[in-house]
């Protein structure tokens, strides 16, 4: 079992990734970069002890585990892409990308962009209803 310090509180995403084994760090850095490119305006933070991204509300989270990367795009992100995510083990609002397989980075980027559009639309609708 890799020495992933999941319960060690990380103050930032860089520290979170640094607490993972080198092989996992590479995957997490590419995941982080994919999310940042898809959502350049998003704020990066730690939430629920996981790396998270926020843009007019929470977009996505990810976490490293022994055999997989957990990816959390809230139920809407998973529902919209259920066909593309079908090959992966899932829970309500979560998907597991096995560490022994390449992560589907183009799909992750599509999910992040979808969540950004969704959050922006929800934000704009709330603003319009205040008027």
Domains held by the chain: number:
1
In a domain, 84, yes or no: yes
Range of the domain at 64: 13-130
Q: What is the pLDDT of residues 107-129, one digit of tens each?
A: 999 999 999 999 999 888 887 88
In a domain, 1, yes or no: no
In a domain, 111, yes or no: yes
In a domain, 63, yes or no: yes
CATH number of the domain encompassing residue 99? 3.90.1150.200
* Cβ–Cβ < 8 Å for 108, 78: no
Closest CA to 37 of 99, 104, 105, 101: 105
- Whose tokens are 């795009």? That residue is 73
In a domain, 8, yes or no: no
Three-state DSSP state, 31: helix
The pLDDT confidence band at residue 130, using thresholds 50, 70 and 90, is confident
Q: What is the pLDDT of residues 88-106, one digit of tens each?
A: 999 888 999 999 999 999 9
β-sheet bridge partners, residue 61: 52, 72
């Amino acid at each position: 079992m890799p020495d992933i310090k999941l319960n060690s509180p990380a103050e930032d995403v860089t520290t979170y990734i640094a607490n993972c084994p080198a092989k996992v760090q590479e995957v997490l850095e590419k995941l982080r970069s994919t999310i940042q490119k898809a959502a350049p305006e998003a704020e990066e933070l730690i939430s629920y002890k996981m790396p998270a991204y926020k843009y007019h509300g929470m977009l996505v989270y990810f976490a490293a585990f022994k055999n997989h990367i957990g990816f959390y795009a809230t139920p809407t992100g998973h529902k919209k892409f259920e066909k593309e995510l079908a090959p992966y083990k899932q829970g309500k609002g979560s998907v597991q990308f096995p560490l022994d397989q390449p992560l589907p980075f183009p799909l992750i980027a599509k999910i992040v962009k979808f969540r950004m559009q969704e959050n922006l639309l929800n934000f704009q609708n709330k603003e319009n209803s205040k008027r």
